[in-house]
């Protein structure tokens, strides 16, 4: 899962990025509203953490521009301004949740999981597909009652494919989800992750649609 942080406070942004990376997310971080708008319009993210008081373009302006383009990425507003008026305005412009600073990082992480769960149309905290159970909070995966150890990217890949079961995910989409702007990507990296998942969950779980991408059937 890939998260975009939009925060101009360097110390705070660095702390959130470190925490989310430790939680297993792919994380990108920008420090002004104009870069945020361009990033959201051009890349794929599973959620956005958005400050309001940003240079160049305010967080509310970013949100308005993104929703105008019909981009439905979940947005968590994180700001020092606890004005009810601003809170209502942000929610009315399309924000999905709102937190004020200072905050507890574990709550930010939990709210992000809830946003992404709702975005996927899921009410349960776990993801179940046949004999596979995925717990996004603990990053644990069970197969027929047995724990399966996965790398951070293997977990993200499996989660994305199962959340989108029945739909083909292109190679480009998968790379966009698994790797941030500063990550080095080897040419066959995605194929290696797919190979590893097939070894752990069976060769028939993930099907290759040649020239298009990958799919897990419903």
Class of domain 2-119: alpha beta
User: Domain 127-215, what architecture?
Assistant: Orthogonal Bundle (1.10)
pLDDT, one tens digit per residue, over 118-169 is 888 888 889 999 999 999 888 899 999 999 999 989 999 999 999 999 999 9
Peptide bond into 102 cis (omega under 30): yes
Domain segments of the chain as ranges = 2-119, 127-215
Which residues on neighbouring strands pair with residue 100, listed in sequence order?
A: 79
Contact (CB, 8 A) for 208 and 214: yes
pLDDT, one tens digit per residue, over 7-33 is 999 999 999 999 999 888 889 999 999
Q: For the chain, where are the alpha helices, taking DSSP H only?
A: 10-22, 33-42, 59-68, 84-92, 105-119, 152-163, 171-178, 189-201
Residue 184 clears pLDDT 80, i.e. is over it: no
Q: What is the pLDDT of residue 88?
A: 86
Residue 34 clears pLDDT 90, i.e. is over it: yes
Residue 206 clears pLDDT 90, i.e. is over it: yes
């Amino acid at each position: 899962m890939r998260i975009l942080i939009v925060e101009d406070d360097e110390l705070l942004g660095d702390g959130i990025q470190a925490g989310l990376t430790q939680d297993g997310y792919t994380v990108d971080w920008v420090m002004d509203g104009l870069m945020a708008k361009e990033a959201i319009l051009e890349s794929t993210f599973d959620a956005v953490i958005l400050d309001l008081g940003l240079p160049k373009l305010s967080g509310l302006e970013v949100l308005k521009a993104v929703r105008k383009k019909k981009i439905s990425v979940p947005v968590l507003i994180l700001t020092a301004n606890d004005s009810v008026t601003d809170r209502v305005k942000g929610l009315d412009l399309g924000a999905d949740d709102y937190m004020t600073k200072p905050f507890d990082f574990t709550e930010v992480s939990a709210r992000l999981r809830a946003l992404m769960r709702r975005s996927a149309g899921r009410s349960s905290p776990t993801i179940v597909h046949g004999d596979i159970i995925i717990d996004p909070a603990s990053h644990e995966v069970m197969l027929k009652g047995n724990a399966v150890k996965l790398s951070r990217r293997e977990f993200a890949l499996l989660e994305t494919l199962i959340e989108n079961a029945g739909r083909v995910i292109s190679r480009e989409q998968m790379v966009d989800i698994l790797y941030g702007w500063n990550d080095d990507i080897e040419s066959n990296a995605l194929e290696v992750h797919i190979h590893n998942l097939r070894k752990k969950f069976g060769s028939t779980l993930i099907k290759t649609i040649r020239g298009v991408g990958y799919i897990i059937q419903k």
